[in-house]
Amino acid sequence: MAKTLIPFGPQHPVLPEPLHLKLVMEDEIVVEAIPALGYIHRGLEGLATRRDFNQMVYVVERVCGICSCIHAMCYCQAIEGLMGLKVPPRAQYLRVIWSELHRMHSHLLWLGLFADGFGFESLFMALWRVRERIMDINEATAGNRVIISTNIVGGVRTDINTGYLQEILRTLKTVEAELKPLYDTMMNDYTVKLRTVGKGVLTKEQAWQLGAGGPTLRGSGWAHDMRTLGYEAFHELDFEPVVETDGDAYARTKVRFREVFQSIDLVRQAIAKLPDGILAVPVKGNPTGEITTRVEQPRGELFYYVYCNGTPNPERVRIRTPTFANIPPLLAMLPGVELADVPVIVLSIDPCISCTER
């Protein structure tokens, strides 16, 4: 049968960012998918060598807006590790609170986009309306909705007062109540299942061998969550990785939706245990040596390698983002699927191209 090459993206209704896939088709079936990147490469790793290590906190936040706080946290952990800095307990808990708020609003953003991707617009609007409550918390606590810039090397730059912590708990109660019926709709609706169950299957073995991360890996049966490493205050909180075993778009959706509830629980635990104390330790001198750090972003494992030579400018900052890891598994999911299912499957890895290209 003759093969046809169909371009998917870089501009496509379901893609919030430019990803281009060259789809080799036989009739309506995908035979091969070849990625083409480079539309938003900004050279941020190169910028690291020209910026002070403190300035780089604000640069890495701009690798990806939607999980900016977690990029900054991972980078700060690397510099703090090189300089032997011990982050105060209150700052560790505050980092957990803001990073879990980020996970919530990132997952809710994706769940809405995903619903919109298969035409369920009322669900999209309902999910984004709930998400606004999380954005309001970010704005009230940090002064901004998305790029909140709360992390600094040695701790955090701002506090959350006791009165507003109670307001966060009240908001989370509302969010939880509003999300439960939406969870039932998204996970039990006949048309949603028709579009997601059995689509883009990634077996457990494939997910590991292809280096998948985050919900893409956990949706294929792996209890692999970097938060279990116990960084910041996670070692004092009670949680288990959310795992589903079917490895399809439905399983990945379920992992993310369940993780929103898990994040609500983690924020509640963190607020309940939040200790008093200072927000940051003083930073003296320049970092020296090399280190790797890993944290769990909404999309999966975020990896930083930092090499410093004792000057204010890092010699090398290497950032491996979760979508960078999840593109090879995506290329394995697509052969054999119908063209109509490609948008849903591409979206199911929650692609972040700003992260991927940096």
Q: Can you give the binding site for another protein, defined by CB under 8 A?
A: 34-35, 37-38, 41, 43, 45-46, 81, 208-211, 224, 226, 228-229, 289-292, 294, 301, 303, 305, 307, 315-316, 318, 320, 324-325, 327-329, 331-332, 357
Q: Which residues pair with 24 in a beta bridge?
A: 5, 32
Residue 8 Cβ vs another protein, minimum distance, rounded to whole Å: 17
Nearer to another protein, 181 or 310 (CB): 310
Nearer to another protein, 17 or 290 (CB): 290
Residue 91: count other Cβ atoms within 10 Å of its Cβ: 26
- Give just the sign of the alpha carbon dihedral 26, 27, 32, 33: positive
Nearer to another protein, 89 or 328 (CB): 328
Total residue count of the chain as it appears in this document: 358
Nearer to another protein, 149 or 228 (CB): 228
Residue 292 Cβ vs another protein, minimum distance, rounded to whole Å: 6
* Torsion angle (degrees, nearest 10) of CA 210, 26, 193, 296: 20
Residue 261 Cβ vs another protein, minimum distance, rounded to whole Å: 23
Residue 195 Cβ vs another protein, minimum distance, rounded to whole Å: 27
Residue 11 Cβ vs another protein, minimum distance, rounded to whole Å: 18
**Could you give the 3-state DSSP secondary structure of residue 40?**
coil
Phi, psi dihedrals of residue 220, rounded to the nearest 5°: -105, 20
**DSSP string across 54-91:** TTHHHHHHTT-STTHHHHHHHHHHHHHHHHT----HHH
Nearer to another protein, 230 or 277 (CB): 230
